[in-house]
Amino acid sequence: MINKNKAMEQQSKRIPALDLIKGMSVIGMIIIHTLLTFADVKSQSESAIGLFIVFLGRGTSIFLICMGITFMTSRHQSLKSSLTRGGMLLGAALFMNFLKFIFPVIFGFAPDNFIQRYGWHGPIEQQYLYLMLLGDILQLAGMSLLFIGFIRKYVTNKYGILAIGLLIALVSREVSGINLDYPVINYVLDLLFSNDFPAYVYFPVFPWMAFIIIGMFFGKWYQELEYNRPQLFKNMLYSGFLFAALGAPLVFMYGDYNYNGFYHMGPGGVLYFAGWTLIFLFIIYKISVNVKENKFIKLLKYCSKNLTTMYMTQWILISWGKGIFGFRENGITTVLALIVMYIVLTFSVQILLDFFRKKKEKSKIIEALN
C-alpha cells in the first residue's frame, strides 16, 4: 500500500507535456539523422523539406531543458544515482560508437566517402580509437550527470541553480578549446570544452550543460509551486520572453562571440535558444491539456519511456545503412522513403528488446517461485 501511494504521488508530479516532447524528439531525431546521413548536399540545403528538417535539428535545447526539469522531480534523488547513471551513459556511448563505426569497418560495409570525409588516406584501422571516442549527446548527458547531481544535492536555492547555469553559459567561450598535451586528460577536456566541429565532440559540456541546469531551475520552481503545472508553464513563458529579449541583441549584434555556430554558442546564444525553447514548451503544454489520450499520445509516451535505447538503436541502424544506401548520395524522395523505413525499424527493434526483457523478467519470477 505504501509503495502504491508513493507511485501515485510520483505520477502526480510528472508533467505529461514533457513526456510528449521527449517522445516527439525520438521520432524527430530519426528524421533528422536519416536526412543528415543519406541526403546529398543539394537535398539538405536547397529543398524545402531538407531545410525544414535541418531546422528541426536545432531543437537540442528542448530535450536538455526537459532533462533538467525531470531530473529535479525524479524519484531517484541521491547523488549516487546521478553518478551511476552518468557513468552508465558514458559506457553506453562508447558501446554505441563501437557498433556505429567499428562494426561496419570490421565487416567491410563502411562507405569510402565517409572515410574520406575525415581526410584519412591510411588504413581506417588506425582511426579506431578516434571513432570510438567521438562525442555526441550521450556523452554530454553522461558528463553532465556527473556534475548536476552535486548541484541538486548542495544548491537548495533555485536562483543559485540558475546562476550556475548562466555562469556556465557566460564563461563557455572563454574556456572553449582548452587543451593539454596528455591524451586521456585531453579527451576529457574535449568533452568539456571542445570547439573543433566536426572533429571530436558535437555537444561540449560548456555551454550545453547550461540548458540542463536552466531546466533544473524550473524543476526546483515546480517543487516550490507544490507541483502546480499551469503556474509553472506561465512562469516558463514569461522567462522565455525575457531570455529571448536578452539573448537576441547579443546574437544578432555580436554574433562572432555569442553564436559561433550552433554547436559552440556563447552566452547570448544560450539565452536566445533557451528563451525560444521555454516559449515552445508553453505552447506544447497548452496543446497537450486540450488533447485526449489516443494511440498517437500513447506512442509518444512509449518513445519517452525508451528514449535512450531508441536513440542508440536508430543511430546504429542508420550508420549500418551507409554501406547499403551510401553516405550523403541520395535525393529527397529516396530520403523520405528511408525515413519511414528507419522509423519502422527502430520501433521494431525496441519492441523486440521489450519482448526479451519481459521474457527474462518472467523467467526470474518463475525461478523465484520454484
How crowded is residue 68: how many other Cβ atoms within 10 Å of its Cβ? 27
Quote the cell numbers at residue 10.
510520483
**Centroid of chain to Cα 64:** 6
Residues of the chain under the 70 pLDDT cut? 1-12, 112-126, 197-199, 368-370
pLDDT for 129: 79
- For residues 5 and 15, what is the distance between their CA atoms, to the nearest angstrom? 18
Q: Is the dihedral of CA 318, 323, 328, 334 positive or negative?
A: negative
Helix axes 229-253, 267-288, angle to 10 degrees: 150
- For residues 191 and 206, what is the distance between their CA atoms, to the nearest angstrom? 9
**Centroid of chain to Cα 200:** 17
Instruction: Tell me which residue has cell 516558463.
Output: 236
pLDDT for 348: 97
Q: Is the dihedral of CA 313, 318, 321, 323 positive or negative?
A: negative
Quote the cell numbers at residue 367.
525461478
pLDDT for 131: 82
Beta bridge partners of 208: none
pLDDT for 369: 67
Residue 58 in 3-state DSSP? coil
Span between the terminal Cα atoms of the chain, in Å: 26
pLDDT tens per residue, range 310-321: 999 999 999 999
pLDDT for 1: 47
- Please state the pTM of the whole predicted model: 0.92
Residue 196 in 3-state DSSP? coil
Quote the cell numbers at residue 61.
535545447
Based on its alpha-carbon atoms, the radius of gyration of the chain, rounded to whole angstroms, reads 21
Show the 3-state SS of 322-359. HHHHCCCCECHHHHHHHHHHHHHHHHHHHHHHHHHHHH
How crowded is residue 20: how many other Cβ atoms within 10 Å of its Cβ? 21
Whole-number Cα distances in Å, 113 to 118, 165, 348: 9, 40, 29
Quote the cell numbers at residue 232.
509553472
- For residues 168 and 207, what is the distance between their CA atoms, to the nearest angstrom? 6
Contacts of 169 (CB under 8 A, 6+ apart): 207, 210, 266, 267, 270, 271
pLDDT for 104: 86
pLDDT tens per residue, range 7-62: 445 556 789 899 999 999 999 999 999 999 999 989 998 899 999 998 888 889 99
pLDDT tens per residue, range 338-361: 999 999 999 999 999 999 888 887
pLDDT for 261: 80
pLDDT for 11: 55
